[in-house]
Structure 1
Amino acid sequence: MNDEPQIPLPSNAYQARQWIADLSVQLAQNDILFRDPPEEPTSCCGRGCNGCVWEGYFQAVGYWCEQVRGILLKE
């Protein structure tokens, strides 16, 4: 059993873009420089593969957002 808290993940590309946009604004408002968010995948075949590139992207976005939220909480 894994007791580590789960990082929230976006459920679709629109939500990922919204989270990134919202947090990017907050970073800018606080004059905080942070690495760029992950880039959207361009190689999805659209067949719903197990382990789709979008799954990895959503995990990367969730991790990036979690890091940004942590930085913003320290401000």
Structure 2
Amino acid sequence: MNLPVLTNAHSADRLIEIVSARLALAGVVDFRSPPAHPTGCCGRGCNGCVWEGYFSALAYWRDEALLRLGGIDPGGEVMAN
């Protein structure tokens, strides 16, 4: 499964779309929703920007979803499905 690298809102939305579709296809209906986009970014490139936290939270959501789907090996590598 080719997943986008989290670099901006578009890549985050695409990741959510792909992973959510895989969960639905697998019949997983009780998995939690992905984190919501941040709303408090000032756009100044702060160290510790809210987007950095969002990308970390979204990566955790992605990893948990892939574990649920059986798509991550114990070393953390995404396996092709």
TM-score tier after normalising by the smaller chain length: 0.7 to 0.9
Alpha-carbon separation, structure 2, partners of 1:11 and 1:70 = 22
Q: TM-score under structure 1 normalisation?
A: 0.82
Deviation readout 1:4-24 (Å, 9 max, x if unpaired): xxxxx6122111111111000
Equivalences, count: 66
Counterparts of residues 37-56 of structure 1 (less than 5 Å)? 37-56=34-53
Among candidates 11, 26, 45, match of residue 15 of structure 1: 11
Alpha-carbon separation, structure 1, partners of 2:67 and 2:6 = 17
Counterparts of residues 1-75 of structure 1 (less than 5 Å)? 10-33=6-29, 34-73=31-70
Identity of aligned residues (%): 48
RMSD: 1.3
Greater helix percent: which structure?
Answer: 1
